[in-house]
Structure 1
């Protein structure tokens, strides 16, 4: 594929990117706009509108939608707005999620366990369900879920369970929807270097013990990578965009590890 063709891979495509106010989601949105996509950025933070404005200022086609994707009603409304505005949805990239706390499982209380599952599984479950009627009606579409290789990792059991659920969702939904011309795939990022978060996952002051538990996660993540390092945002975004593109047209039901050789 020529460079000019590569830069236009998503021309005429409407792509919804969730969790796109910062981090991997924002980097994915920027790449998609650079490749001529029309991008709908969805996040519960108002910062998503700043990101959309930046993309428009650079000549891209983008707008932001605020929604709490842990709630099905708001998820459904966000997908309906994207469809109403553009008449179709070609790609959904489910990027919401992330560990809120890091600690051995016996130190999680019931509320924290539920919060981790609610944060890292339900936004993807809800978003797939909300977008599906539009994709089935148009007999085409791609869903890219962002999972994690932390399905095998220390101090994040509830998060690991949530991401394991996303892997199962990806495989099962791919089987159900292939008959409609829909692909469902996922990437599984490993540790990723990123600028400080503008929206904290939690506001707790960390104790010395909690800092030690966090360091155990960093050490295990690095040791599990054959490359012995964290990736960067572009190294995560590029495979997501590839899986969303027509170049991956014969891939479905697959989870692609992106973790320097750590398979999760």
Structure 2
């Protein structure tokens, strides 16, 4: 993997990374293992185990649906039983399913966007807390988005705004337990083609045109006029997860080339 590498940064730490089969989550989980963490790769994709097997370190994989409470609870229990506890949770599951003007969204599509991009983080935070309490310390890093302001994705924006609220409210609530809750807010990010597309039905011609408008808006909103790289997203996530960020909690770090969303 390219990018900065900090050997031993996560020695002795157990990390759970959700959405670890592809994209940012995959890169985060692989880097955390490379830096000494014992990492549980969690995803509903059936190839999550083969991704975990790529890691240079001690890893395990767990397949479940994090859009349900049962999936989140069982995943955290599996991680704790496998490695003796949990120190860090990185909530990475999410992503807009469709890009379209809000007036074009059907009610069931709105519900699907909220289930996809809000509920895994909400459930994940709740499910991991007993394990962090038993540890006497811990950290949760939520992957939000700067798309709380942007076109053609209002339901997704609402979900990510909810993640920001979870981060700030929960950080205040659990600080006395020596638990930090933080978030990054990535902007547009270049990534390899997904092995499982977010919109299994495929995009209509209209949706492709609306997506092109989103890309234009996102690039035009950044000072750097480009998308970021996966490595540029991984670095701040793992910094916030590490002990180097021990006095940072309740904050949402924009990683979007200057676009605050």
Distance in 2, matches of 1:206 and 1:135, equals 41
Aligned to 1:81: 78
Displacement after TM superposition at 1:70 (Å): 0.4
Confirm whether residue 68 of structure 1 aligns to residue 65 of structure 2. yes
Aligned to 1:154: 151
**TM-score, structure 1 as length reference:** 0.96
1:68-147 equivalences under 5 Å are 68-147=65-144
User: CA offsets, 1:152-173, max 9 Å, x none?
Assistant: 0000000000000000000000
User: CA offsets, 1:33-89, max 9 Å, x none?
Assistant: 11111000000011110111111xx4x111100010001011101100110111110
Displacement after TM superposition at 1:130 (Å): 0.3
Distance in 1, matches of 2:199 and 2:142, equals 23
Greater shift in the superposed pair: 203-212 or 30-39: 203-212
1:15-26 equivalences under 5 Å are 15-26=15-26
Aligned residue pairs total: 257
Displacement after TM superposition at 1:198 (Å): 0.3
Query: Are the equivalent residues in 1 in contact too, given 2:184–2:253 (CA < 8 A)?
Result: yes
User: CA offsets, 1:151-196, max 9 Å, x none?
Assistant: 0000000000000000000000000000000000000000000010
Distance in 2, matches of 1:259 and 1:217, equals 15
Displacement after TM superposition at 1:205 (Å): 3.7
User: CA offsets, 1:120-154, max 9 Å, x none?
Assistant: 00000000000001111222000000000000000
Residue ranges of structure 2 left out of the alignment (5+ in a row): none
Aligned to 1:32: 32
**TM-score, structure 2 as length reference:** 0.97
The match for 1:242 among 239, 243, 254 is 239
Distance in 2, matches of 1:250 and 1:48, equals 33
Distance in 1, matches of 2:64 and 2:222, equals 35
User: CA offsets, 1:195-219, max 9 Å, x none?
Assistant: 1000111122433221110011100
Residue ranges of structure 1 left out of the alignment (5+ in a row): none
